[in-house]
Chains A and B, each alone.
Chain A
């Protein structure tokens, strides 16, 4: 079963972290995706101080691991084994979110392999990774670097 947590506002990093901390205490969640518009790169405090173009990556801490946050969290997709924990998810949202929210049931993360998984990954995608990578991500540039050109000239 999958649900979508849909808060009334776009979350700032602290609130998103607080909500994820609460969700991480719940057992039985198999996958989660944070979704939203791209996170503005500059810190508002820097902008008010007249410091522009200072781009510091922002991180979420998930179970002790630092994960770079690139989106402003607007929705969280949660996949769970047991539908009974929806109430626990609601409780976690009530604790962490200072404004109303909605919980919607549906399919938000793919559950089966599609043609893309075979084309891009040769079908080697496990159940956890299905739908968790960007199928449109460009592979790294295959061009030679200028340094390698120099090497060839030598």
Chain B
């Protein structure tokens, strides 16, 4: 691997790892399940995206790069859906929002959703 490939690959690896670490830190530090989903869906998706890109570039093999890109696309497609479903399930199970929360427009509309 030449230096000019090694530098961006290492930067991507370090960047991806930092985002993954911060996502984990966010899940640990944020106060309730809803705010935690923010960290898990965003920083997690970007972290793994950067790591996948680094893998694809580092391999110097177009077939692997394409697969890494496909992996990133699937991650971007599925991460928001799972975050949304977890948040929705939590709200339906009446998991309370953090006391610092300022409003909850969803609560009023929830009775119809529950009775289904």
A and B: partners? no
User: A: which residues have CB within 8 A of B?
Assistant: none
